């Protein structure tokens, strides 16, 4: 058998890989249920609403880092739905929702394009976060609950650090200090 020259072998391989990448990225035929195609903005709204509610449920879980009392039942009741919600999270990121615009002050989505460059890692981080919530939902005892709470929050931060646009608080400018409050107030 004649051995292919190395460059030719590489060419065959890259062509094959390109073919499979195209197949993987091929958009599904339009049809009922492909909401990523028909309603991408609704998908973005849904994942943002989900995240906001996860954040609300996190309140008692975060609080035990600084409070003396730990109500295990209440914490389990908050962590259980968080785990279920986090299982849904990665499925709300079809490529049609890669719409982050860095030039806009209030972008329609804060999800960075890296998500779709490295979807495997994104998917893994979502699963890890869901698992951390499950641990929180069953942990017993003050210290184990505190540890689980820290790890759950760390799992949110791990994903946000990589894939969520950083929040840039408005910076205080020198001109702010020199602002003439007296005359501004007098004008009113
Ligand atoms: C696998 C990645 C990932 C994990 C894990 C994750 N998030 Fe998020 N989160 C995102 C992305 C991406 C967005 C931006 C969504 C958008 O704007 O489209 C977001 C947005 C948010 C927002 C802002 C929602 C808004 O109003 O736009 C909050 C609050 C939030 N996440 C809380 C949490 C909390 C709390 C956890 C952990 C319990 C968590 N997230 C876990 C990826 C993640």
Domain ranges of the chain: 38-166
- Could you tell me if the CB of 54 is within 6 A of ligand 1? yes
User: Considering just the CA atoms, what is the radius of gyration of the chain in Å?
Assistant: 24
Dist. CA 160 → ligand 1 center (Å): 6
Instruction: With beta carbons less than 8 A apart as the criterion, state whether 36 and 43 touch.
Output: yes
Residue 164 DSSP symbol: B
3-state secondary structure of 111: strand
pLDDT at 16: 45
Testing ligand 1's pocket by substitution, the residue of 41, 44, 156 carrying the most ligand atoms inside 8 A of its CB is 156
CA-nearest residue for atom 38, ligand 1, is 156
Q: Would you say the CB of residue 125 lies under 6 angstroms from ligand 1?
A: yes
Q: How open is the CA angle 156-45-21, to the nearest 5 degrees?
A: 75
- What is the rounded CA–CA span in Å between residue 116 and residue 138? 33
How far apart, in whole angstroms, are the C-alpha atoms of residue 182 and residue 134?
Answer: 56
Dist. CA 55 → ligand 1 center (Å): 8
What is residue 68's DSSP assignment?
Answer: S
- Would the CA dihedral through 139, 142, 143, 145 be positive or negative? positive
Q: Which residue's CA is minimally distant from atom 37 of ligand 1?
A: 156
Which residue's CA is the closest to the ligand 1 atom numbered 35? 55
- Calpha distance 154→56 (Å, rounded): 16
How many Å apart are CA 105 and CA 108, to the nearest integer? 10
Q: How far is the CA of 68 from the centre of ligand 1 (A)?
A: 28
Q: What is the pLDDT along the chain (188 residues), one digit of tens a residue?
A: 444 445 444 444 444 444 444 445 667 777 899 999 999 999 999 999 999 999 999 999 999 999 988 999 999 999 999 999 999 999 999 999 999 999 998 999 999 999 999 999 999 999 999 999 999 999 999 999 999 999 999 999 999 999 999 866 666 666 666 666 676 666 55
* Residue 167, pLDDT score: 66
- Ligand 1 centroid–CA 129 distance in Å is 11
pLDDT value at residue 30: 76
Does domain 38-166 match CATH 1.20.120.10?
Answer: yes
Other Cβ atoms less than 10 A from the Cβ of 9: the count is 11
Q: In which residue are the tokens 């197949």 written?
A: 23
Q: Is the CB of 97 under 6 A from ligand 1?
A: no
> What is the pTM for the complete model shown?
0.81
Interacting residues of 23 by C-beta distance below 8 A, sequence separation 6+: none
Task: Give the pLDDT of residue 31.
Answer: 84
**Res 22: pLDDT:** 44
Mapped onto helix, strand or coil, the DSSP state of residue 149 is helix
In eight-state DSSP terms, residue 28 is P
C-beta neighbour count of 166 within 10 angstroms = 9
């Amino acid at each position: 058998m004649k051995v292919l020259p190395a460059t030719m072998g590489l060419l065959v391989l890259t062509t094959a890989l390109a073919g499979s990448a195209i197949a993987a990225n091929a958009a599904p035929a339009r049809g009922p249920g492909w909401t990523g195609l028909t309603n991408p903005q609704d998908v973005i709204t849904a994942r943002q609403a989900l995240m906001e509610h996860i954040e609300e449920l996190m309140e008692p879980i975060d609080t035990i880092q600084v409070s003396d009392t730990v109500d295990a039942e209440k914490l389990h009741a908050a962590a259980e739905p968080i785990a279920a919600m986090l299982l849904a999270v990665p499925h709300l990121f079809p490529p049609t929702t890669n719409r982050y615009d860095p030039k806009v002050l209030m972008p329609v989505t804060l999800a960075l394009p890296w998500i779709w460059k490295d979807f495997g890692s994104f998917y893994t981080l979502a699963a890890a976060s869901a698992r951390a919530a499950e641990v929180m939902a069953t942990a017993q005892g003050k210290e184990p609950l505190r540890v689980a709470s820290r790890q759950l929050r760390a799992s949110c931060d791990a994903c946000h650090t990589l894939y969520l646009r950083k929040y840039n608080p408005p910076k205080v400018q020198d001109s702010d200090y020199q602002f003439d409050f007296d005359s501004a107030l007098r004008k009113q």
